[in-house]
Amino acid sequence: MDRRLTALIGIAALVALAGCSGFAGTATPTDGDEAQLERSIEVTAAGEATSAPDRATLRVAVTATGEDAVAVRDELDASEEELRGALTEWGLDDDAIRTDGYNVRESYETRDDPNRTRYEGTHRYTIELDGVDAVGEVIDVAVDAGADEVQRIRFGLSEERERAVREEAIANAMTYAHDDASTLADEANLTVTGVYEVSTAQSQSRPYMAESYARAADAGDASGASTAVETGDVSVSVSVNVVYEAVPA
C-alpha cells in the first residue's frame, strides 16, 4: 500500500477517535493537559403540606319505587323541584347543585317474577359549598326536602388555597432533596456547589373524606344544624427531581 495512503488512513482514525471522545461528554478540558470528570448528584424527594379545608362537596340521593316506571320518574322529578327549591332558598346558587347520576330500572327482586313488577329510581346530586361550616345545615335542608341518602362528604381546597399549599409542599421537597444530596456528597467526598436541573415529577392533592356523620333528633350544634360532621386536614404532596453540581471536597 502507498505510504501516503497509509498515513492518511491513520490520521483519519485518530480524528474519528477524538470525535467520539468529545461526543461522549465524559471529560471537560482544563487549563493543563489533564481532564476533570463532570460530577453530579441526582436526587428525587417528596414534600407534603396540609391545610384545613375551605370547600366541601356533598353527594345526596333521592330514591323512589313504584309499579310503573313513569310514576317513578314523575316522583323523582317532583322531588328534584322540591330539593332544588329548598337549597336555593337556603342560599345556594342553582349551579352549585348538579345531577351526578340518574337511573330508573326494574327491581332485581321482581325481574324473574312475571306476576310482580316493581321499579326503582335514584337521582343523585352533587352540592358544592364555598366553606365548611354549613355542611351539617345543608345536609338537614336536603334531607328535609326529600333526600333519602347522604352518600359522601368530600372536604377539599379552593384553587387559590391549594396553590399556596402546593408551594409549601414544593419548598419542603426541595429542603429534603438538598439534605439528601448533601449526605450523598459527604459520603462520596464531594461538595454540592449548585444545581444543574430541577423539575417536579408528581403532584397530588388528597381531600378529606368524611366517613361518619349523625343526625340527632333533638339536639343541634352551635350553628343550629342537627347534623354533626367531622372534618380533617387536606394534604398536598409534590415530588421533585434535582440534579446538583458537585466538586471534590
Sign of CA dihedral 3, 9, 12, 18: negative
Model confidence at 107, in pLDDT bands (50, 70, 90)?
confident
**Average pLDDT of the chain?**
82
CATH of domain 39-54+157-249: 3.30.110.170
The correct answer on CATH 3.30.70.2970 for the domain covering 55-156 is: yes
Q: Say how far apart CA 113 and CA 101 lie, in whole Å.
A: 28
pLDDT over 50 at 235, yes or no: yes
Distances from the Cα of 53 to the Cα of 12, 152, 233, angstroms: 69, 16, 6
Q: Say how far apart CA 81 and CA 86 lie, in whole Å.
A: 9
Q: Say how far apart CA 97 and CA 222 lie, in whole Å.
A: 26
Average pLDDT over residues 78-87: 96
pLDDT by residue (tens digit) across 199-212? Answer: 998 899 999 998 66
Q: What pTM did the predictor assign? A: 0.73
